[in-house]
Amino acid sequence: MSSKTLRYAVTLVTAGALCVMLDSSSSAAPGAGAACAAQADALAEGLPSCVSAAVALDRLPAVGESATVRVALGAKTRVDGARLTLRLPASLRLETGGTGLSAPRPVGLDQVAEQTFALTTTGRSVSVRVTALAAGPAQIQADVAGADDKHAAHASTEFTVGATPGTSRSGLGGTSGPAVTRIPARVATNGKAAPLAAQAPAAAAAAGQICATGYLSVSDKTGAWIAARNVPVYVQGKTTSAAATVTYQSGLTNYQTGGYSLCFTAPVTQMYSVWVSFSTAGSLWQVTDLAGTSAYTTYTAAKGNVASGATLDFGTIAPPSTQMRGWHAFDTLNLLWYVRASGTNCWTSRQTSGCTKISLRWQPGSTEGARFNNSVPQAQRYVLLGDADPDSEHLVLHESGHAFMDQLYNGYWPTSDCPSPHYLHARTGPKCAWTEGFANAIAGYTKGDGRYYWADGGTIDLMTTAWFDSSKPAGRTNVENGDQVECRVAGSLIDLWRKVDNGPASTFSSMVAYRSDTFSHWFKTVRPARGLSVTASTRNLVYTHTIDYRTS
Q: Give the residue numbers annotated as catalytic, written as ranges.
A: 399
Other CB atoms within 10 Å distance of the CB of residue 68: 13
Task: Tally the residues of the chain.
Answer: 552
Q: Which long-range contacts (CB under 8 A, 24 or more apart) does 342-345 make?
A: 342/508, 345/196
CA distances from 30 to 34, 143, 364 (A): 7, 13, 21
Do the beta carbons of residue 369 and residue 290 sit within 8 Å? no
Tell me if residue 59 falls in helix, strand or coil.
coil
Do the beta carbons of residue 133 and residue 100 sit within 8 Å? no
Q: Which residues are bridge partners to 213 per DSSP?
A: 261, 313
Sequence-ordered list of residues with C-beta below 8 angstroms from that of 18, at least 6 positions apart, any chain: 10, 11, 372, 374, 402, 413, 416, 435
Q: What is the pLDDT of residue 34?
A: 38
Q: What is the pLDDT of residue 36?
A: 59
Q: What is the pLDDT of residue 157?
A: 97
Q: Which residues are bridge partners to 384 per DSSP?
A: 361, 371
Tell me if residue 293 falls in helix, strand or coil.
coil
Angle, CA of 172, 109 and 220, to the nearest 5°: 100
Q: Which domains does the chain possess?
A: 26-172 (2.60.40.10), 209-324 (2.60.40.1120), 367-543 (no CATH)
Low-confidence ranges of the chain (pLDDT < 50): 1-35, 38-46
CA-based end-to-end distance of the chain: 40
CA distance 159 to 69: 13
Antiparallel, parallel or unpaired: β 270-279 and 303-307: antiparallel
Angle, CA of 81, 84 and 88, to the nearest 5°: 165
Q: What is the pLDDT of residue 47?
A: 56
Do the beta carbons of residue 419 and residue 429 sit within 8 Å? yes
CA neighbor of 414 nearest in space, from 14, 4, 9, 126: 14
Burial label for 131, CB within 10 Å (0-12, 13-18, 19+), is middle
Q: What is the pLDDT of residue 202?
A: 63
Secondary structure, 3-state, 500-535: CCCCCHHHHHHHHHCCCCCHHHHHHHHHHHCCCCCC
Q: What is the pLDDT of residue 48?
A: 63
